[in-house]
Amino acid sequence: MAKTYLGTPRSFAEAAHDALKDTQMRANLARATGTIRAKRLSVVAEVSDWEELRQTGHDIKMSTLAHLDEHLVRFESEFVKAGGTVHWAKTAKEATDIVVKIAQVHGVSEVVKVKSLTTDEIGLNEALSSVGIVAQETDLAELIVQLADEHPSHILVPAIHKNRTQIRNLFVANLPEAPVGLSDEPRELAMVARAHLRKKFLSATMAVSGANFAVAETGTLVVVESEGNGRMCLTLPDVLVSVVGIEKIVPLWRDLEVFLQLLPRSSTGERMNPYTSFWTGDADDGPSERHVILLDNGRVQTLRDEVGREALACIRCSACMNVCPVYERTGGHAYGSVYPGPIGAIITPQLLGPGQADSLPFASTLCGACLDVCPVKIDIPNILVHLRARAVETKGITSELLLMRVMARILRDGNSLQHAQRLLSWNYALINALSRLGFLKHLPGPSKGWLASRDIPLLPRKSARLARKGDSR
């Protein structure tokens, strides 16, 4: 089963250091993100009111978050009215327990899955496996990641870090449908995956899905996808369970007019997704039993943060990842979360809470490219700075903080600065000697990382200020 988790104790800096050594991964990422960026630019340029659409999307999302409790209650009422069942889950374990119980009640040994990001967040595959139930990923990229026993490295293209030769080798090693002499041509690889998954679709009696949107007005869930696997999962099995983050709610059906223009252009660079599926409660032509689990798992605590809550407006398009210079070089696994890239750097620490994943907000150059492409105008750089400040406050008194306080005291008034400059001028010969010998690059403590990557200039005999004042010392 794929290894799924929301965050790990390992810092981003440590993981990124190892990821940078993988030149093949970096080449794969550069090629893939470059292609997606070019497609996005082309289709966005066709929309004359693109900026107005972005602003409207932002406004809808932020207004929804301000009244989220009302919209959730309305969604529940409409979904139940249509014959479905709504469950509420405060934690990941509560959510996985609900899915496991439904599966056990129906005696299933295997479930098929689509739109797996939220279920990856809660570790559903592992929970099902622990009671002997196999979770079969049906998205092609999710299948690749599952066969590799890895977790996704990209929100939209989970296997973006692999090239087609690596995928071919995975199929040959793991899928009985792979013929002798299978090439790495995309069409051949897709046909092998299709043959493997078709058996699963036709035999599965239960499916688990996520959702892109949940419409409060009608109690409707929406999934957009490109392969048709979603349509198979949502129509063929007898039981359908959808795990949906509470932030996926939109108030009105007409709101989809905005988001179904923003999402495909920002994610896959398409004018419209090949498959857009809607379902509400029970129906005669699909699963006879439909459940939705409304998931909190840190979202309510994120909502309490007046600055950080804007991250919940995310529609999971991955545009920010495709333009991020940090992500392109480190890949998604370095973030230690199913939510990598700039959006992961602000969502993961908030879902986990203060003191957790504190290195992620520092995984950014603050260049602002993520804000420029976000279809709902999330101010990711501003939230990153906000979370950096929170991370520093959480650590309490550190040697770095003490040093900054000393510097603040020195720079607060001219006399203190003058005394400090004179002290340096008295010891300039010793400091310059240590600098020439390279000793300053190996100082311990908080200065180590900063000094190790910089050339230390030699100190002048006098500072410009003292020289201007004619100080004789």
CATH number at residue 234: 3.40.50.10420
Q: pLDDT band at residue 37, thresholds of 50, 70 and 90?
A: very high
Q: How many other CB atoms sit within 10 Å of the CB of residue 424?
A: 15
248 in a structural domain: yes
258 in a structural domain: yes
Q: Are residues 291 and 425 in the same domain?
A: no
Q: Quick one: which of 254, 248, 175 has its CA closest to 210?
A: 248
Radius of gyration of the chain from Cα atoms?
A: 26
pLDDT digit string (tens) for 53-104? 999 999 999 999 999 999 999 999 999 999 999 999 999 999 999 999 999 9
Pair 335, 12: CB distance under 8 Å: yes
Q: Are residues 411 and 288 in the same domain?
A: no
Q: Are residues 205 and 64 in the same domain?
A: yes
DSSP SS3 for 371: helix
For residues 220 and 216, give the distance between their C-alpha atoms in angstroms, rounded to a whole number.
7
Q: The tokens 């990598």 sit on which residue?
A: 340
Q: pLDDT band at residue 1, thresholds of 50, 70 and 90?
A: very low
Predicted local distance difference test score (pLDDT) of residue 7 = 62
Among the candidates 300, 324, 352, a domain finishes at: 300
Predicted local distance difference test score (pLDDT) of residue 466 = 53
pLDDT digit string (tens) for 399-450? 777 777 888 888 888 788 777 777 766 676 777 777 776 666 666 666 666 6
Length of the chain: 473
Q: Which stretches within 134-210 are classed as H helix? A: 140-147, 164-174, 186-203
pLDDT above 50 for 3:
no
- Say which residues have a Cβ less than 8 Å from residue 344's Cβ, sequence separation at least 6: 155, 332, 335, 337, 338, 360
Among the candidates 300, 327, 362, a domain finishes at: 300
13 in a structural domain: no
For residues 264 and 222, give the distance between their C-alpha atoms in angstroms, rounded to a whole number.
13
For residues 187 and 164, give the distance between their C-alpha atoms in angstroms, rounded to a whole number.
11
306 in a structural domain: no
DSSP SS3 for 87: strand
- Domains: count for the chain: 2
344 in a structural domain: no
388 in a structural domain: no
Question: Region 21-36: what's the mean pLDDT?
Answer: 92
Strand 275-279 to 220-225 pairing = antiparallel
Q: pLDDT band at residue 4, thresholds of 50, 70 and 90?
A: very low
Among the candidates 300, 330, 350, a domain finishes at: 300
- Which two tokens mark 74? 């309305």
For residues 116 and 125, give the distance between their C-alpha atoms in angstroms, rounded to a whole number.
10
Question: What are the Cα distances from residue 294, in Å, to 79, 235, 427?
Answer: 12, 21, 65
391 in a structural domain: no
- Which two tokens mark 9? 């104790």
Higher model confidence: residue 286 or residue 336?
Answer: 336
pLDDT digit string (tens) for 165-217? 999 999 999 999 999 899 999 999 999 999 999 999 999 999 999 999 999 99
Q: Are residues 406 and 287 in the same domain?
A: no
Question: Region 40-65: what's the mean pLDDT?
Answer: 97
Predicted local distance difference test score (pLDDT) of residue 426 = 65
pLDDT digit string (tens) for 258-316? 999 999 999 999 999 999 999 987 666 789 999 999 999 999 999 999 999 999 999 99
Question: Which regions of 306-445 does DSSP assign to beta strands (E)?
Answer: none
Q: Which stretches within 45-163 are classed as H helix? A: 50-66, 68-81, 92-105, 117-122, 124-129, 140-147
Average per-residue pLDDT in the chain? 90
218 in a structural domain: yes
Q: pLDDT band at residue 392, thresholds of 50, 70 and 90?
A: confident
pLDDT above 80 for 115:
yes
pLDDT digit string (tens) for 118-136? 999 999 999 999 999 999 9
Question: What are the Cα distances from residue 102, in Å, to 19, 136, 209, 389?
Answer: 39, 17, 14, 43
Q: Are residues 124 and 266 in the same domain?
A: yes
Question: Region 41-58: what's the mean pLDDT?
Answer: 96
Among 36-40, 120-124, 126-130, 460-464, the range scoring the smallest mean pLDDT is 460-464
**Which range of residues forms the domain containing residue 419?**
401-469
- Say which residues have a Cβ less than 8 Å from residue 358's Cβ, sequence separation at least 6: 349, 391, 394, 395
